Structure 1
């Protein structure tokens, strides 16, 4: 692994650990507690992304020299296919967790992130765009890429995905994170373009953000309305 990639990992680690002094600083400045996580994440992730993109400038300039690199049309096609592959992998992994491992569905990590986004709506940009870009660069381009030079796809994909899960502090759903990581790694290997798993990752996170944050109240109202309709239909059916 070249020195620039080591600096990318260091930058990402510092960005994560900066939450501790960042929270203390914002508390001293009088920022409401429920807005602090979202506000600091917005700041630290944005700075981290700018630094990492700067470190990747040589790769960006030499991207056309990659062998067997997919065309733009193929990349777009695989990015779209990748969204459905990730959804399918998540669903399959969740079913195995429930019916084989006895793990209840739902993620505390996701619930916490949703609460942060509701308190500081701009945090959605971190969840949907900045975060996925950083994660694909770190976990697929750098970590998976380094492992893939020494091991086969499965070992590299599983190891990088386990690190991916560990950073999210969601060890209960290791299988789900591993399944997602393997799909993203496959998209990267298949197309030789890191932009492809980035697009798929952004699309997945954007969908989850819209459903769980922006449309959460409307969906709850729709569910209540459906329950009322079902109760009304049951009463009418009983009368008839």
Structure 2
């Protein structure tokens, strides 16, 4: 693995751990600025994830600029722009389809509740601090595709078959979400995005599909949840 990729992984891990310091810090700053304590307890996580994800995304993109282009060993050249656009759009539906199948398997075979505490927490943060929707819909998916697909999956794929590389990277992707009862669902998403990456050779394709899917899920959950509650098992309401 390139040293630049190691730096990116460290930056991503530090970002995830920073919540334990950043949220209390933002809360105290808000209190000293005269904000209501109850409001700050609800808003501090939203403020911090926007700050931490924004800074980390900038750092990672700067690091990637210094790294040499690292094409996947799957085709002589990346897919054409037109083909990439087609796969990016189709990838949204593939991702939703894979998520729906996995959610139904979890519910019907393993009795797993299709609901997600992680989703509920994120929705509550967005309602309190709407700007945090940028993280769940855009910044988060971009960072995850760079870390889990470009770096982890890409590094494994150079040594192993697609199935082995996709399985390992997808399970790591699932475990990173800390909802182990939904490990099958998150792994299915990881497989879908890995397939898009391999099929096109362009990381922008799974990034687009991931961003579009998360944005759709956020909008549905925030504005159409009551009307579409009967298909919640299909959409799932997860933020991969």
TM superposition score normalised by structure 2? 0.86
Corresponding residue number in structure 2 for 1:23: 23
**Secondary structure at the counterpart of residue 110 of structure 2:** coil
**Secondary structure at the counterpart of residue 113 of structure 1:** helix
Q: Which has the larger radius of gyration?
A: 1
2:79 to 70, 79, 97: 70
Task: Count residues in correspondence.
Answer: 218
Corresponding residue number in structure 2 for 1:7: 7
Q: Deviations over 1:115-159 (max 9, x none)?
A: 111111000011100000000000000000111111111111111
1:198 to 188, 203, 207: 207
Quote the Cα distance in structure 2 between the aligned partners of 1:98 and 1:62: 39
Quote the Cα distance in structure 2 between the aligned partners of 1:34 and 1:52: 28
1:95 to 96, 100, 104: 104
Corresponding residue number in structure 2 for 1:118: 127
Gaps of 5+ in 2: 230-240
* Residue 189 of structure 1, CA deviation: 0.4
TM superposition score normalised by structure 1? 0.86
2:220 to 202, 208, 211: 211
Q: How has the CA–CA distance of structure 1 residues 62 and 182 changed in structure 2, closer, same or farther, with 3 Å as cutoff?
A: closer
Quote the Cα distance in structure 1 between the aligned partners of 2:185 and 2:70: 34
Which residues of 2 match residues 114-153 of structure 1 at below 5 A? 114-153=123-162
Corresponding residue number in structure 2 for 1:52: 60
Corresponding residue number in structure 2 for 1:230: none
Corresponding residue number in structure 1 for 2:95: 86
Quote the Cα distance in structure 1 between the aligned partners of 2:51 and 2:83: 35
Quote the Cα distance in structure 1 between the aligned partners of 2:85 and 2:198: 15
Corresponding residue number in structure 2 for 1:179: 188
Contact 2:24 2:44 in 1 (8 A): no
Gaps of 5+ in 1: 225-240
Q: How has the CA–CA distance of structure 1 residues 159 and 39 changed in structure 2, closer, same or farther, with 3 Å as cutoff?
A: same
Cα RMSD over matched residues? Answer: 1.8
Q: How has the CA–CA distance of structure 1 residues 8 and 166 changed in structure 2, closer, same or farther, with 3 Å as cutoff?
A: same
Corresponding residue number in structure 2 for 1:42: 50
Quote the Cα distance in structure 1 between the aligned partners of 2:84 and 2:57: 23
**Secondary structure at the counterpart of residue 68 of structure 1:** coil
2:174 to 158, 165, 171: 165
